[in-house]
Structure 1
């Protein structure tokens, strides 16, 4: 009998694992509890706005190698949009000042010598502080590794690390922050050119993967939750679903690509992150004004990043614990006030809007929670884990999720 790998979960970690295995000619069956694939990286037609929106605005970078491998595999390399150089636009909400950061392409960061390219109010010597994040950090917090004050912190590093960690940067894991810096800022601008899914997350990351799997003969079953895993003699012996029991043959494998709290329920004794951070996204059915930057970082506002799409303006608020419980319309008005000011629009005229709250968007990227991330291998010889919450060495990002899926596929194969 041909061995089967059962991938439980069709988020990006599960899809990365499944596509990597089918590319190798492995037989794969994907089982997903939700009614659609994609997990937290999904698109849908919103009935309130009447247009397709993403549940969140996920920014990826040109140097995210696992993502680029995944998109190339599923034939979606052309589904990312962004500039051909690293360009980042900012606005200070207190003063109204605006600036654009333009790093050079190579690793020798001569751009910090140019006042026109670097953060206003900073000196070239200020950037040497980033050297404090290049060495191994262990269990240190960010505020124990670098100085969390001054123009460079206030106008760049705090917002950059908040977006990467989705946790208060000062209390965040210096090791995870360092991993991001080593793979982006330290390598030069060609490694962190901003990219967004085009036309949306589903079209870039999910739909091509499902088509790829179907073309390779893989099976994808939606709306089917894994209830339990029967284990004996150090192996997973059967998968119990709502309407069937799958007995595993000796050569079958299981990749568990589910949220950490689900994995902990299915595998008693498994240590997983147990503190989480929220993300709030707001979508406003308002075409951006001419010349609006594709991505605008707001310093000192309730809104943090504003994304300009053809038909709407969208906002992302990371580490959103302080606002996630607010009334939805109140939250929409609060965020629209920042968007309107940043783009010269009427703050008193609230366009059609939608608020998307992810209360457990990512694990809290603190040193304590980072220690709770399990490796891909488990106590069951034929079962491995995948997910951005596993020990990828990165924060909970799309790159981390895809990287974990590729690692799980290697182990399962």
Structure 2
């Protein structure tokens, strides 16, 4: 009989690990405490709209997440740019953009940076010199994790203007952290992988479908077709070693499952709570990762107010705007989402205050929005959207192995070498599955 593996957590990391293990011929039970799968990437219905809890995008360099979608048969749910183009709006509706050419990296960015109208020419040239220096950084160097991106940029001639209108456009969205507080190691990973090492790596992919249809339900269907058991509302209270019998006992409310191996793919602190003491998973260490919020502001207009599918902003609290009209299934008007990363300022703000601020800001950025009625307005908040990707977190992120063979960790918060992203989650799920398959002799991937 095939070995039995329990996967705790139905987010992207857990779903990926479970799919790998089911493909390896192992008997898989996936347990999710909540009433839905998807973890930090899920969809829900509101007033006839299909709403994602946050605006998740990917880049061409997110190869493992894109491969997962191919495997699930949903790669067509991503609209991928043929060539990187990032529209940037300034107050008053002035539009500029960051683009790339077809040349080799990093020269592919030169022409676009020279034409980037959000910065004076002298600042653009200084930014390119800093980018050339960043290309020499090694993201794996532990010393970089002791410094902030902002300090490093200041030491390479960058001023407040370049931080606000260039570096933070990327770092805040990718790291959920302002450049002044972000780990230089993680920032170097983002900028090198996405922009500096390969010419096409930063081409942007936007979901055409809700996350529920893109990877959540397709992964569930994939698992069920391979004989896996998928259970929601199944909170795990503890994982214990089985005395003498080998393997693990997975304790739920009123039920205990036995398993030959366990993948713990829950958030950091819950993972530490369920792991046995002998696993060496320190609750205090994982608590040190902290948390950073993301807030999304949703506005439905009576008529279309922009033809941009998405845009970043400068000189505005808006950060990023996405057109969600087709994805949400809206047939009349236009549905825009404002994505606010590093959103501590807005986390506790009441909805009426957010409505007043952000509808006015949309009117400044999109002139047609000034005279078009907003028919629906609501806010979604992810209080613990990512860990706080600040200096020192590199040494806190554990690898997938624990001290107990057969008990492994997965999650975008583990030591993937990537920031806390969908790509990092998928990569962690693959690593966890490889370890479990080797442990159970179910076949190395």
TM-score band w.r.t. shorter chain:
over 0.9
**1:4 corresponding residue in structure 2:** 4
Q: How does 1:230-309 map to 2 (within 5 A)?
A: 230-231=240-241, 237-248=248-259, 252-267=260-275, 268=277, 269-270=281-282, 271-274=285-288, 275-286=290-301, 289=304, 292-309=307-324
**With structure 2 as the length reference, what TM-score do the two structures score?**
0.86
Gaps of 5+ in 2: 139-143, 438-445
Partners of 1:306 and 1:196 in 2: how far apart?
Answer: 12
Partners of 2:69 and 2:108 in 1: how far apart?
Answer: 32
Partners of 1:351 and 1:304 in 2: how far apart?
Answer: 22
Equivalent of residue 151 in structure 2, options 144, 150, 161: 144
Equivalent of residue 223 in structure 2, options 213, 216, 241: 213
Question: Does the residue aligned with 2:414 lie in a helix, a strand or coil?
Answer: coil
Partners of 2:371 and 2:416 in 1: how far apart?
Answer: 42
Report the CA distance shift for 1:138/1:346 in structure 2 as closer, same or farther (over 3 A). closer
Are positions 1:367 and 2:406 aligned together? no
Equivalent of residue 97 in structure 2, options 93, 97, 100: 100
Report the CA distance shift for 1:315/1:231 in structure 2 as closer, same or farther (over 3 A). same
Partners of 2:186 and 2:410 in 1: how far apart?
Answer: 18
Report how far residue 291 of structure 1 moved. Answer: 5.4
Partners of 1:287 and 1:87 in 2: how far apart?
Answer: 28
**1:21 corresponding residue in structure 2:** 21
Query: RMSD value over aligned CA atoms?
Result: 2.2
> Runs in 1 of length 4+ with deviation above 6 angstroms?
none
Partners of 2:150 and 2:233 in 1: how far apart?
Answer: 44
Equivalent of residue 64 in structure 2, options 66, 69, 91: 66
Question: Does the residue aligned with 1:338 lie in a helix, a strand or coil?
Answer: helix
Partners of 1:288 and 1:218 in 2: how far apart?
Answer: 46
TM-superposition CA deviations, 1:24-70 (whole Å, max 9, x none): 33221111111110011001111xx3211100001111110111111
Report how far residue 256 of structure 1 moved. Answer: 0.4
Question: Does the residue aligned with 2:200 lie in a helix, a strand or coil?
Answer: helix
Question: Does the residue aligned with 2:254 lie in a helix, a strand or coil?
Answer: coil
Q: How does 1:6-405 map to 2 (within 5 A)?
A: 6-46=6-46, 49-93=47-91, 96-105=93-102, 106-113=104-111, 115-116=114-115, 120-122=119-121, 123-124=124-125, 126-134=127-135, 135-136=137-138, 137-147=144-154, 148-149=158-159, 151-231=161-241, 237-248=248-259, 252-267=260-275, 268=277, 269-270=281-282, 271-274=285-288, 275-286=290-301, 289=304, 292-310=307-325, 311=330, 312-343=335-366, 344-346=368-370, 349-405=373-429
Greater displacement, 189-198 / 29-38: 189-198
Partners of 1:10 and 1:377 in 2: how far apart?
Answer: 19
Report how far residue 288 of structure 1 moved. Answer: 6.9
TM-superposition CA deviations, 1:98-124 (whole Å, max 9, x none): 201111244242441453367642444
Report how far residue 144 of structure 1 moved. Answer: 3.0
Report the CA distance shift for 1:287/1:409 in structure 2 as closer, same or farther (over 3 A). farther
**With structure 1 as the length reference, what TM-score do the two structures score?**
0.92
Report how far residue 152 of structure 1 moved. Answer: 3.5
Report how far residue 92 of structure 1 moved. Answer: 2.0
- Given that 1:236 and 1:380 are in contact with CA atoms closer than 8 Å, whether structure 2 keeps it comes out as no
Matched residues, number: 407
TM-superposition CA deviations, 1:112-159 (whole Å, max 9, x none): 145336764244453120234331324221123222525443212112
Partners of 1:380 and 1:88 in 2: how far apart?
Answer: 46
